Amino acid sequence: MGRVLMKEVRSGGVGHSAAPLDDTDQVLLGLLAADARMANKALARAAGIAPSTCLNRVRLLRERGVIRGYHADIDPEAIGRPIQAFVSVRLRAGSRSRIRELTGRLAALPGVLNVYFLAGANDFQLHVACESPSALSNFVVDNLSASQDVALTETTLIFEHVAGRAQTRHTHPG
Amino acid sequence: MGRVLMKEVRSGGVGHSAAPLDDTDQVLLGLLAADARMANKALARAAGIAPSTCLNRVRLLRERGVIRGYHADIDPEAIGRPIQAFVSVRLRAGSRSRIRELTGRLAALPGVLNVYFLAGANDFQLHVACESPSALSNFVVDNLSASQDVALTETTLIFEHVAGRAQTRHTHPG
DNA sequence: TGTGAAAAAAATGCTCT
DNA sequence: AGAGCATTTTTTTCACA
C-alpha cells in the first residue's frame, strides 16, 4: 500500500513516541512550567482549546515523557538548609566503572539536590544544600573524601541561585 | 557582608513569619515536592488531617514562602534541547559591579535553565540546554565571549542529570 | 488549630462532529 | 483531533467544638 502512517517524525527516543510538539503543546508546557497547579479550565482557556481537549493533550504530554512530573519548589532556606554548594568529584581511575553505584548512593543522601555526570576532568558534580558551613564540610569529608574511590573534590559555595526563564517558560523559536 | 545571606532561617525574614515547621508540614512538603498535582483530598489523607485543614496548611506554607511555586518538570530533550552544559564565567574586575544586570539578561535567554552566583575564582555558572553542540558553541560565543565584561568562560558538557532525593522528598534531620 | 458538612467549581468520560 | 454536555469528584467556605 502506498499509504504510510506519518506519526513519528523523530527517531531514537527511549520509549517515547516523538510526535513533534505543535504550538498548542508549547503553550501548555510553558504555562505548566510556570504554574503546575493551574486549573485545567484556565489552562484550556489560555491555550484556546476546550477543557476536555486540554486534559487529553496534557495527559499525552505526560505519557510521552515530555512532562516528567510536577514538583513543588521548596525554599531550602526555609527547611533549614541555607548553605548551597557545588562539589566536583574526580574518581580514581579504577573506580570509574562503579560511578553509577557511587552516585546513586550519593543522590539518595539528604541535602543532595542534583547529580550531574560531566565530560572533562571531573567525573561528576553534586549540588547540595546544607544546614551550615560545617555541615557542608562534614558532608564532603564523610561522604566523599573518606571514600577510597574518590581521587579529589572541589567545593564551590553558591551565593545565590536564580532560575532561568527556561525553567518556567518556553519560548517559541523566532 | 556575609550576614545578609545566612541569617534568616528562624528569625523574622522578609515577610515570612518563621514559625517552625512541624512534622505534618514536613510530610506535606515531601508529598508536594514529589507530586505537586496531588489532590488536596489525597494529600490530607496521607498526612492524617482533614482536607480543609490540609488546604489551610498548604496555603500558609505558600504564603510564608516555604513553597515558592509549583512547576512542571519538562524533559529538555523532548523540546529539542538535548545538549546540556555548565558554563562558568569570570568577569573582568571592572565589570563585577554589573553582575546583576549581566546575569539578569542571561537568565532571560532561551535555554538558560539556571544561574548560580559562586564563591571562588569564577563569578557565576550558567546551566544551559541547547539544540546541538554547535548551538551551545554559538551561545557561549555570542552571549559571553563576545562581551567586553567577560574575562573567561569554561564550558563543561553534562552527560546526564539525576535529581537527588532532596528534590522530591524531605528528610527529618535524624 | 482543627473539623465536618454544604455549596461552588472543576475534572472526567462519552458521544458527536 | 476537537468540542459540548452530564456525571462524578474535588475544592473551598463557614459555623462550630
B28-84 pLDDT, tens digit each: 999 999 999 999 999 999 999 999 999 999 999 999 999 999 999 999 999 999 999
Sorted by sequence, the CB contacts under 8 Å of residue A167 that are 6+ apart come out as A33, B71, B113, B114
Note the pLDDT of residue A166.
78
Based on the fold, state whether residues A88 and A143 are members of the same structural domain: yes
SS3 state at B152: strand
Tens of pLDDT, residue by residue over B97-116, are 999 999 999 999 999 999 99
Q: Is residue B35 part of a domain?
A: yes
Question: Could you list the residue range(s) of the whole structural domain that residue A144 is in?
Answer: 76-158
* CATH number of the CATH domain containing B89: 3.30.70.920
Q: Is residue A47 part of a domain?
A: yes
Based on the fold, state whether residues A112 and A133 are members of the same structural domain: yes
Based on the fold, state whether residues A68 and A1 are members of the same structural domain: yes
Based on the fold, state whether residues B81 and B133 are members of the same structural domain: yes
Instruction: Return the number of CB contacts < 8 Å for A and B.
Output: 226
Q: Is the CB of B40 under 7 A from strand D?
A: yes
Note the pLDDT of residue B111.
95
* B164 inside 8 A of chain A by CB: yes
Q: Is residue A131 part of a domain?
A: yes
> Across the interface, do A78 and B86 touch by the CB < 8 Å criterion?
no
CA distance linking residue A105 with residue B63, whole number of Å: 34
CA distance linking residue A159 with residue A167, whole number of Å: 20
Asked which of B55, B73, B91 is the last residue of a domain, the reply is B73
The residue type of A132 is S
CB-nearest to B112 from A127, A160, A164 is A164
Residue nearest to nucleotide D5 (CA to C1'): A52
Q: Is residue B142 part of a domain?
A: yes
SS3 state at B84: strand
How many structural domains does chain B have?
Answer: 2
**Across the 174 residues of chain A, what is the mean pLDDT of every consecutive 10-residue run?**
36 50 93 96 95 94 95 94 98 96 96 97 97 98 97 98 81 41
Mutation pick from B17, B64, B70, B115 vs chain A, by most beta carbons of A within 10 Å, is B70
Please identify which residue in the block is written with the cell numbers 518538570: B73
DSSP B86-144: EEEEEE-GGGGGGHHHHHHHHHTSTTEEEEEEESSSSSEEEEEEESSHHHHHHHHIIII
Sorted by sequence, the CB contacts under 8 Å of residue B25 that are 6+ apart come out as B57, B61, B66
Q: Is residue A163 part of a domain?
A: no
Q: Is residue B167 part of a domain?
A: no
Is the model's pLDDT at B2 over the cut of 50?
A: no
* CATH number of the CATH domain containing A56: 1.10.10.10
Q: Is residue B166 part of a domain?
A: no
Asked which of A56, A73, A90 is the last residue of a domain, the reply is A73
Distance, CA of A52 to C1' of C13, in Å: 9
Based on the fold, state whether residues A92 and A154 are members of the same structural domain: yes
